[in-house]
A = this chain, B = another copy of it.
Amino acid sequence: MSSKYGVMFVGLCGHLSTTAMAGAMAVAKKLCPPIGMISETEKFKAMPFADLSGFVFGGWDIRSCSDSRKALKDIGFDDIDQLIEISKNLEAIQSRTFPGIMLNAGEAISNISQQAHVFKTDRISTAIDKVRDDIENFKLENGLEKVVVINLASTEPLMANPEDLSSCASIQRLIAANRIDGIRPSLVYAQAAITSGCGYINFTPSEGGFSQGLVELAKEYRVPVMGSDGKTGETLVKSALAPMFAMRNLEVLSWEGYNILGNMDGKILQNAENGSTKIKSKDRLLPHILGYQPHSRVSIDYVPSLGDRKTAWDFIHFQGFLNTKMTLQFTWQGCDSALAAPLVLDLARFGILAMERGESGVMSHMASFFKSPFGIDEHSLEKQFRLLEEYCQKVSH
């Protein structure tokens, strides 16, 4: 496919968005190899994916952009001339950022927002209409037919009443009653994207961004939805390692995970409310894979000096034959944005493909991309990946 497609990010000015856009440009120009992108592997070469060069980026944010040149340097991109050109492109895109939605975003996110970049309203329906208008304008300006919206924003606090989102109708009632404390900004974006006929991808664990109600809505509007919470680091390793213990009938006694990171994500997650959302998402897979719940803890601490370099230490205490106790420890030292950005581009491609093929509702074959795959209880990385392979075989034959 060589047409143009819109890719709109919630969180357009953040590090991840900047890395994803810069990476798409760099890969399209063959300045660096597409390492980390699954859609570029030999295995999937027969798939009719959209060209990266045809991606038209845009989106929303609640704060102004940081210096994109600095952001690029942080991720180790150091060809100076190309850097300057890509920076200019990014600045052009980010200068047209739409103001973001802040309805019931919680304290931590409010603290980092900037007045001038927040769309002011106290009505949910007004906020939804505004996002729908933004999408429409973006399409018109850029001559686009299809757009996917991807939520890359900071993790929102857990919602008090998640059951309210279990159907289209219940969400509709919340909106009609303007029950601001029952929704989050993520719900506004998702509702607006889907009802605008866009594919929607929830890369965050924010519960507003994914629910049974939204899946119903997606079926009604015949668009694909995917989520939740990109699986990029510690949880990725867990989903590869935990099946080993199950396959060998080794009993996991305790699995303790300590995550330290220093970027904006870490800063928001140090707020207990927001951190809980993330931890709930990270801690979901063990009982599914093992068949029982071992003692388990996931903690996330903010360590500013680390910047985007996330470090996780996991300690696994397990019991084997004759009750012998043994341990496995791992230390994962990853660059958060460099791990997440290629997944974002892959997801955009799979989202566009699904739209082109007229697929709608939850795309459960995308489970390997998410910490909390919606609509499926499979958490083993390899089994999740098999679902993707089966889908791709079906598509390419």
1/0 per residue A317-353: CB within 8 Å of B?
Answer: 1011111111111111111001101100000000000
Choose, from A101-109, A197-205, A217-225, A375-383, the stretch at the interface. A375-383
Give chain A's interface residue range (CB within 8 Å of chain B). Answer: 35 or more
Choose, from A19-27, A117-125, A274-282, the stretch at the interface. A19-27
Report B-chain residues with C-beta under 8 Å of the C-beta of A26. 322
Q: Does A250 contact B (CB under 8 A)?
A: yes
Mark out the residues of chain A between 14 and 56 whose CB falls within 8 Å of any chain B CB in the assembled complex. Answer: 19, 22-23, 26, 32-38, 40-42
Contact check, A320 vs B303: say whether CB atoms are below 8 A apart.
no
Report B-chain residues with C-beta under 8 Å of the C-beta of A338. 320-322, 324, 326
Main secondary structure of the interface of A (DSSP, over half): mixed
Contact check, B317 vs A305: say whether CB atoms are below 8 A apart.
yes
Give the nearest-CB partner of A335 in chain B. B324
Contact check, B76 vs A35: say whether CB atoms are below 8 A apart.
no
Q: Does A244 contact B (CB under 8 A)?
A: yes
Contact check, A320 vs B335: say whether CB atoms are below 8 A apart.
yes
Asked, given contacts A35-B323, A322-B23, whether A381 binds B40 with beta carbons under 8 Å apart, the answer is no
Contact check, B381 vs A35: say whether CB atoms are below 8 A apart.
no
Asked, given contacts A73-B78, A295-B305, whether A36 binds B248 with beta carbons under 8 Å apart, the answer is yes
Contact check, B325 vs A254: say whether CB atoms are below 8 A apart.
no
Contact check, A36 vs B250: say whether CB atoms are below 8 A apart.
yes
* A207-B243 Cα distance, complex, nearest whole Å: 30
* A37-B33 Cα distance, complex, nearest whole Å: 40
Q: Does A299 contact B (CB under 8 A)?
A: yes
Report B-chain residues with C-beta under 8 Å of the C-beta of A253. 305
Cross-interface CB contact of A244 among B22, B38, B236, cutoff 8 Å: B236
* A46-B140 Cα distance, complex, nearest whole Å: 62
Contact check, A251 vs B78: say whether CB atoms are below 8 A apart.
no
Contact check, A256 vs B303: say whether CB atoms are below 8 A apart.
yes
**What are 26 A-B residue pairs whose CB atoms fall within 8 Å in the complex?**
A33-B323, A35-B251, A35-B319, A36-B248, A36-B320, A37-B321, A38-B247, A75-B324, A76-B324, A80-B80, A236-B244, A247-B368, A249-B342, A254-B303, A306-B317, A311-B315, A313-B329, A320-B334, A320-B339, A326-B333, A326-B338, A328-B330, A328-B332, A330-B331, A331-B331, A382-B382
Supplied contacts A36-B249, A253-B305, A313-B315, 18 more A-B pairs, CB within 8 Å: A33-B323, A35-B249, A38-B247, A38-B249, A76-B323, A254-B305, A295-B303, A295-B305, A297-B301, A299-B301, A320-B342, A321-B338, A321-B341, A324-B335, A326-B333, A326-B334, A326-B338, A327-B333
